[in-house]
Structure 1
Amino acid sequence: MDELVTRLSNAAHIDRAKASAAVKTILVFLDKEAPADAINELVDAMSGARPVLDEGKAESAGAPGYPGFGAMAAYHALTAAGLSGGEVQVVTKELLAYSRETVGEETTGRIVGAVPGLEAFV
């Protein structure tokens, strides 16, 4: 997961803490929205991601959701984590590129296809 955090930090020109928060936010969001087997494949392929996802799920348990649905809800979650609109775009595109490189086009396509509006970031 360090590799992904570094990649996002460099691509979006954000510090590692913000990049790490973005990964956690996206993983928690996708865990709720995308097919469980596809998300599990992605998380299992990312060294150190399972504890981050579990921590994020625990932190968000019982918290109200974000306005909108699909990619718009993820956008609101990421801006609440401190990212600007431009940073959200870069981070999301990079994470999806990383997903394609790590688990392949088919699994990434299933994730993207399950979240309305996410295809705009591919």
Structure 2
Amino acid sequence: MNQAIFPERLAAAYVKQAGEKYRPSNGTEGQCFFAAWCFHCQRDKAMREGANLDECDDNERCDIVANTFAYDVDDAEYPTEWQYGKDGQPCCTAFVPAGEQIPAPRCTNTLELF
């Protein structure tokens, strides 16, 4: 899914940063990112439906959003899921469209057989 939040010309300037961590430059840009991604993501019921965060189960809350506020973009703990896409547009690589099932996490201790 590709949700453009930057004008085409600005996105073109960020193409060379594809795959690098993204952090909104101000609150307005952050709200645009939330509107394009978080408000439509199955991972975060509070953002998607306006549910009270304290009443959401762990599987209904996205810690990515909180961690982008808690850590500086240069910190190792800052989420790598928020990054510049190949087109220069900010994106969330953990995005799951609302209504779809969230994929089960892959065990990192199990080898791929195929």
TM-score bucket (shorter structure): under 0.3
What TM-score comes out, normalization by structure 1 length? 0.23
Higher strand residue share: 2
What TM-score comes out, normalization by structure 2 length? 0.24
Higher helix residue share: 1
